[in-house]
Structure 1
Amino acid sequence: MGAVTGQDNQPSSTGLEDDGNGNSRSQPPQRRDLNGWRVSGQPWEQTKPKTKPITSGSDKGTQVTVEIHSEDTPLKPIRILSLEKGSQRLPGLRGHNNKGFQGTEAPRPPGAKDLHAYPWDKSSLKSMPVDLQQFKKLDDYALKVNIKSSVEDLVKALLKQARTELEKVRAIWMWICHHIEYDVVGYHNKSQLSSKAEDVLQMGKSICEGYAELFEQMCSIAGVQCKKLSGHAKGHGYKIGQTFTGNSDHAWNAVYIEGRWHLLDSTWGSGSVDDSFTTFTRRYNEFYFLTHPALFINNHFPDNSNWQLLKPTLTLKEFENNMLHSSNFYTLGLLASHPETPIIQTVNGKASVSVDCRSGTLFTFKLKGTDEHGLMTLKKHGMKLDIYPQETGRHKLEIFAKPSKAEASDGVYSCVLEYVVECESVDEAARFPKDLHQPVGPSWFSERQGFLRPSHREPTIHTNDGRCSLTFTLGKDISVLSSLHADGSGLAEDMGRRHIMQIRRGNQIELKVHLPHAGNFVLKIYSKKRSDPGNYDYIFNYLITCLNTEVKWPAFPQSYSKWMEDYEILEPLSGLLPANRNVQFKLKMHGIAKVLVQAENTYPLTHNRGCWEGTCNTSGCREVFVMVHENANHSFYSHVLKYEVETQ
């Protein structure tokens, strides 16, 4: 996926060992129970410590450490570590002004009050209330701090603007995410890699182990309890359906803030790497700061299940089988996807996917790198996608989304979901024209552009006789343009428009479609402001299907610029007239002084109840024109329609 996992077996200096083949492997961690006691191979056996230190401090700054021994151990005198008054210097901070720094106790294991319900309740992306606007000043300050003399000096500088535990963690998080980059060279060559906090600071780069080490040490210096966690991650290189075995492949942190544990991943918060794992791109990701545990488990599985901070916890098998949602899925306001399993099977050549969201979001998809083999429709609170793979086997399906406010052409779609589609049979009838644009059909987006109350709400229109009529109420003062497209039919762009008759009646618009033959067609609809002399913008499209091979409708007559959008042809609708026949004309036009039909001879039409009517004979001509005289005081006529006459 886009974020870096650091599937990064560490060198021995960071708790990993070499396997003798040049590969570093994690040493098996010691098993400990919730009290920190090391547990042996059998779950009921415990190895008790011989001594257990207890630290006590008075409000005057006196600190005493007492050792409690088991009965079979000779007693020793109580050793007083320090009776000094006032603030204490940390061993690692000698020579520095340590005012404001605190020592941290050993992190306590998570308890009942740390747990969050699973699955996610859709309430918040964070595990505690966080107002990012209140962090703006602190964030800006942390980004400008540029100290590399020591970790202690860096923390001291950051804490000048941080007072609470949350502010301290935020300042550390922002600094690491914006100043440490992923070490793609070290990932491939462990001999050049160090994950020690001081080395990470000096080099300005590391893998996940180094990010987590630095975060843990900076929090410790700042007086915030922090623990480095390890486990499996569905990050870079993850393949849908893969199982996780052996050593951990990722590291992250838990921080103790306001009496509760919270999770974060500064590696993934800092950016991502390319597919070849050779280039790191810094791209800050807020999602992985104090992520809600029910979302964090989506791609982080800790070695110790207690650090899931969930009730109930997930098994490794459940983690492997669960759907993977990218961070973009949640930051875009998406809520759920169906089906909830990453591998889906087609039924009779078809598979369906849907996504739920809170508000209007734009979607698109790629099936094996193309969007030709599916029908995606936008819903008010999500989308629905039917896909029809045209080959059997396993296919990669990617779902992309972007916020509706990013409707400009520079808006970028982000991948939010991936499925593997297993196809056993192909529906060869479900072959869609290449001009079909996703999504298909009317939606909240077309309504926003002014197309209200569509007569056809589904994306596909089925017609048996090759004809259909669509109507809309226009909610804006717009002009509408439409065109018809098909694969391999020789339907040129101008002829594609002539197979649609567009009629406007007030704020109502009707599109009459006559198909030239059977097959699958795309009806594209464009619009622009009526006062705008510029180009039309694409809005949406329909899929029109006809299986009747006897269908062969001619185009409508060709119209010219003087033909107004609220004019209407009542007859003849066909743009191809029979030869040597009397043809009845009936046209609804307003504001016209005279109307003539020019064939071999000229035939005037008479005005009757809002319509111009009359008869024309097509003998001896190849073309017939309708001309209008707009002003009785003028002598010239304008062409508005052109018909063709059948050859004898």
Structure 2
Amino acid sequence: RKNTPSLPKTMTTHFSPAYPWDKSSLKSMPVDLQQLEKLDAYALKVNVKNSVEELVKALLKQARTDLEKVRVIWMWICHHIEYDVVGYHNKSQLSSKPRDVLQMGKSICEGYAELFEHMCRLAGIQCKKLSGHAKGYGYKTGQTFTGDSDHAWNAVYLEGRWHLLDSTWGSGSVDDAFTKFTYRYNEFYFLTHPALFINNHFPDNSNWQLLKPTLTLKEFENNMLHNSNFYTLGLLATHPETPIIQTVNGKASVSVECHPGTLFMFKLKGTDKHGLMTLKKDGMELDIYPQNTGRHKLEIFAKPSKAEASDDVYTCVVEYVVECESVDKAMRFPKDLLQPVGPSWFSKRQGFLQPSHKEPVLHTNDGRCSLTFTLGKDISVQTSLHTDGSSLTEDEGRRHVLQTQCKSQVKLKVHLPHAGNFVLKIYSKKRSDPGNYDYVFNYLIRCLNTEVKWPPFPKRYIKWLPDYEIEEPLSGLLPANRNVHFKLKMHSIAKVLVQAEDTYTLTQNMGYWEGTCNTSGCTEVFVMVHENANHSFYSQVLRYEVETQ
């Protein structure tokens, strides 16, 4: 122990820097947090303020190993010393001597680091106070660091090598106005892996990066800032890795890599309307189309999808600045489009398996498209179609989608009323539930062909069952004064009538009910069914409109 250099002159075996990060642990040595729970609780209860020596003596009563000694000191400082926001603005009045920090119960980073170093030395642990630049309070994406260092932290020597920690950032955070400190313990900054610590700490002496190769200040400035939430939520990487990105032909693309089961959202200048985000099993992909030139702030938020995660809020994990030189006006998205777009592991978890279309956007030239899914749960499905402007009421939007369900197969046929961008929303509920449908996911449907003009499908009534099928006529608007052929697939029915000016009976043929009706002299046509040959009443199942002369 005695021969250990107090400061690394060169990268000797002492330092054995573990680089690059293998993504398996956030710490530079194995730490079993569950085993430390009792010790942590003990450290929080110790209340000795008369001298640093007495405090250390009290803390060490429960600590045996060097790791445990460092841990009790760390825990005590993080929960008993608050950041001195007043002192920060008036440094001349401030003492960062360990004795004064203990008496005051508050300090700035300098005082935290000096108290930590002093307490470790009293406990017989080698510890260094380090100083350098940090991407902390007030940091702006892409800024440069000049002049003196602005932050202090520590290195401790455990099990034959040096480890990094920052008790200032472990204790809590200050608000945006820098007037209020809030205790919020952050485990991330205890023995942080050097490859992650370098993300926001740049020591004056580059040896203390504990990395090989070391980063230059320029690289540090240009590197993406990942805050501690990024790693604690299990995120692994972002692409691109530079914080400032330029659009190409009005578009910029970003992706995040993570462990499965993370949900994402984004904001570009405070809104999620100018992008297309898709969830992937191990991350997300995002295409951004700013609708103004200039610099835009892009924030990406994440949260674990596990239902048991109590604080079910999205946390900002990464920020970019998007520089936009030209705008792609064609990439305007309907306001009803919800992020993420397209099917994903999340829709699969809700019971939508094997989607025929895995991409978020469906392109159709003739204004028609069909999609299929297999349902993995006993659910009922509902859909709606939306577009900007007042061209579609909610009811009409529903009628431009025809849904059939045979056992676990769901088929959706979409006929667009005109060219443009449409949102197809898909909802579900447990079949046994009387309640409302829950939104699950949506697609963007694009059609550029201005000739397109499909009428809605016929109106379906409650007695039209999910597994009934319309072969023809699919259009809910029938031509006037014509003979129209009907071909419908329905089961458990005794008799089918088509009521126009006159009434026509359909006949059963190979599982279909077929026949012809004439549309002259009427404005609407109903299909009615007799469920039981002994009953005299009919139920309406479909309603068609007839074109006016």
Q: Is 1:303 the equivalent of 2:204?
A: yes
Q: Partner residue of 1:549?
A: 450
Partner of 1:594: 495
TM (norm. structure 2) is 0.95
- Which residue identity is paired with 1:174? M
1:144, 1:612 → 2: CA distance? 80
Aligned AA (2:211): L
CA distance in 2 between partners of 1:192 and 1:402 (Å): 42
For 2:517, the equivalent position in structure 1 comes to 616
Cα RMSD for the two superposed structures: 2.0
Are 1:367 and 1:398, in contact at CA under 8 Å, matched by a contact in 2?
yes
Q: CA deviation at 1:191?
A: 5.1
Q: CA deviation at 1:408?
A: 7.7
**Residues in 2 aligned to 1:410 and 1:163: alpha-carbon distance in whole angstroms:** 35
Structure showing greater Rg? 1
Contact 2:235 2:258 in 1 (8 A): yes
Q: Aligned partners of 1:640, 1:141: CA distance in 2, in Å?
A: 72
Three-state SS of the structure 1 residue aligned to 2:36 is helix
In structure 2, C-alpha distance between the alignment counterparts of 1:233 and 1:392, rounded to whole Å:
31
Which residue of 136, 152, 155 corresponds with 1:235?
136
Q: Secondary structure at the match of 2:49?
A: coil
Judge conservation of contact 2:261–2:306 (CA < 8 Å) in 1. Answer: no
| Residue 612 of structure 1, CA deviation | 1.5
The partner residue of 2:281 within 380, 385, 389 is: 380
Structure 1 Cα separation of the partners of residues 495 and 158 of structure 2: 84
Q: TM-score, normalised by structure 1?
A: 0.81
CA distance in 2, matches of 1:630, 1:226: 86
For 1:591 and 1:156, the matched residues in 2 are separated by 85
Letter in 2 for 1:320: E
Instruction: Say whether residues 1:254 and 2:155 are aligned partners.
Output: yes
Q: Report the CA distance between 1:519 and its aligned residue.
A: 0.6
State the distance in 2 between where 1:464 and 1:526 align.
Answer: 26
- AA at the equivalent of 1:235: G
Match of 1:627 in 2: 528
8 Å contact 1:626–1:640 — kept in the other structure?
yes
Counterpart CA distance in 1 for 2:55 and 2:535 is: 86
In structure 2, the partner of 1:313 is: 214
Give the 3-state SS of the residue equivalent to 2:168 in structure 1: helix
Contact 1:390 1:427 survives alignment (8 Å): yes
Deviation at 1:106, TM superposition (A): 8.9
Give the Å deviation of 1:192: 5.3
Of 484-493 and 202-211, the range deviating more from structure 2: 202-211
- Whether the 8 Å contact between 1:106 and 1:225 is mirrored in structure 2 is no
C-alpha distance in 2 between matches for 1:396 and 1:312: 32
Summarize the Cα distance change of 1:435–1:163 in structure 2 as closer, same or farther, 3 Å threshold: same
Amino acid in structure 2 at the alignment position of 1:585: F
Distance 2:62 2:310 in 1: 40
Deviation sequence 1:468-523 (CA, Å, 0-9, x none): 00111111111111111111143111111111001112211111011111111111
Percentage of identical aligned residues? 84
Code of the aligned partner of 2:221: E
Instruction: Report the equivalent of 1:347.
Output: 248
Letter in 2 for 1:242: Q
SS of the residue aligned with 1:171? helix
Letter in 2 for 1:221: L
Evaluate the alpha carbon distance shift between residue 427 and residue 108 of structure 1 in structure 2; reply closer, same or farther with a 3 A threshold. closer
Structure-2 residue corresponding to 1:158: 59
1:228–1:608 CA distance, 2 compared to 1 (3 A): same
> What number of residue pairs does the alignment pair up?
546
Q: In the superposition, relative to structure 1, how do residues 157 and 593 fare at CA in structure 2: closer, same or farther (>3 Å)?
A: farther
Shift of 1:407: 8.4
Match of 1:498 in 2: 399
**Correspondent of 2:388 among 484, 487, 506:** 487
Matched, 1:580 2:481: yes
Q: 2:225 matched to 1:324?
A: yes
Match of 1:403 among 304, 310, 323: 304
Match of 2:424 in 1: 523
Equivalent-residue separation in structure 2 for 1:186 and 1:350 (angstroms):
46
CA contact (8 A) 1:471 1:511 kept: yes
Q: For residues 296 and 449 of structure 1, what CA distance do their matches in structure 2 show?
A: 38
Relative to structure 1, the CA distance from residue 121 to residue 579 in structure 2 (aligned partners, 3 Å threshold; closer, same or farther) is same
Q: How far is 1:409 from its partner? A: 9.8
Choose 244-253 or 602-611, whichever is displaced more.
602-611
Q: Which piece of structure 1 moves more, 600-609 or 302-311?
A: 600-609
Does the CA-based 8 Å contact 2:145-2:221 persist in structure 1? yes
d(CA) in 2 for partners of 1:221, 1:506? 73
Match of 2:70 in 1: 169
Deviation of the 1:152 alpha carbon: 2.4
Task: Say which is worse superposed, 243-252 or 141-150, in terms of deviation.
Answer: 141-150
Identify unmatched segments of 5+ residues in structure 2.
Answer: none
User: Where do residues 97-108 of structure 1 align in structure 2 (5 Å cutoff)?
Assistant: 107-108=6-7
Contact 1:116/1:294 (CA < 8 Å) preserved in 2? no
- Maintained 8 Å contact 1:117/1:312: no
CA distance in structure 1 between the partners assigned to 2:77 and 2:307 by the alignment: 30
Distance across 2 between alignment mates of 1:371 and 1:260: 46
